[in-house]
């Protein structure tokens, strides 16, 4: 699905950069994809994809440590 119509970026494009490059900022995502933000409407979606990737990475590497901390 296209999430950035200005740069014609799909969610898969963004996810692949986030996962492969371990990008830490939205500007890095655009940079790795060879573009820059224009209208900015996609920034919230890219942020959400980054948060989802971080949550997934934490769940995998922490093996439930958040649950043990909370209890
Ligand atoms: S939709 Fe991504 S910069 Fe416009």
What are 15-71's pLDDT values in tens digits? Answer: 999 999 888 899 999 999 999 999 999 999 999 999 998 887 767 777 656 555 555
Measured between alpha carbons, how far is 44 from 71 in angstroms, rounded to an integer?
32
- The predicted pLDDT at position 23 comes to 84
Domain count across the chain: 1
CA of 22 to the centre of ligand 1 (A): 21
The domain of 35 spans: 2-70
CA of 33 to the centre of ligand 1 (A): 13
Atom of ligand 1 nearest to the CA of 41: 1
Measured between alpha carbons, how far is 59 from 42 in angstroms, rounded to an integer?
26
What token pair was written down for 3? 């999430």
Measured between alpha carbons, how far is 4 from 43 in angstroms, rounded to an integer?
9
Nearest to 20 by CA among 48, 62, 57: 57
- The predicted pLDDT at position 68 comes to 55
């Amino acid at each position: 699905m296209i999430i950035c119509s200005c740069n014609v970026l799909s969610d898969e494009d963004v996810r692949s950069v986030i996962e492969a490059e371990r990008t830490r900022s939205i500007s890095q995502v655009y940079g790795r994809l060879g573009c820059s933000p224009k209208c900015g409407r996609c920034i919230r979606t890219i942020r959400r994809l980054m948060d989802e990737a971080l949550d997934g990475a934490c769940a995998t590497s922490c093996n439930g440590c958040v649950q043990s901390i909370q209890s």
